[in-house]
């Protein structure tokens, strides 16, 4: 699975990047979601993450913070 993904939602680009865990070895890491005009969002990574599940979660989070237009 890629550690960085790009996509579009409502005509705006977004990027999701995997961030390695630093403190604990048993941690799974986090995903950093960035889109222009909103603060960065971190969400936890899971062992079974696939590109599809990460994109789905990223877009769900973005839809919860983007204004309707």
CA distance 48 to 46: 5
**Averaged pLDDT score across all residues of the chain:** 90
pLDDT in tens, 45-64: 988 899 999 999 999 999 99
Closest to 19 measured CA to CA, from 51, 48, 36, 42: 42
% of the chain beyond a pLDDT of 70: 88
Q: What is the pLDDT of residue 21?
A: 80
- The model carries a pTM of 0.85
């Amino acid at each position: 699975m890629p550690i960085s993904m790009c996509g579009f939602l409502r005509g705006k680009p977004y990027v999701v990047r995997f961030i390695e865990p630093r403190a604990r070895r048993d941690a799974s890491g986090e995903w950093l979601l960035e889109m222009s005009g909103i603060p960065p969002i971190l969400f936890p990574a899971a062992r079974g993450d696939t590109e599809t599940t990460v994109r789905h979660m990223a877009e769900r989070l973005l839809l919860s913070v983007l204004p309707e237009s």
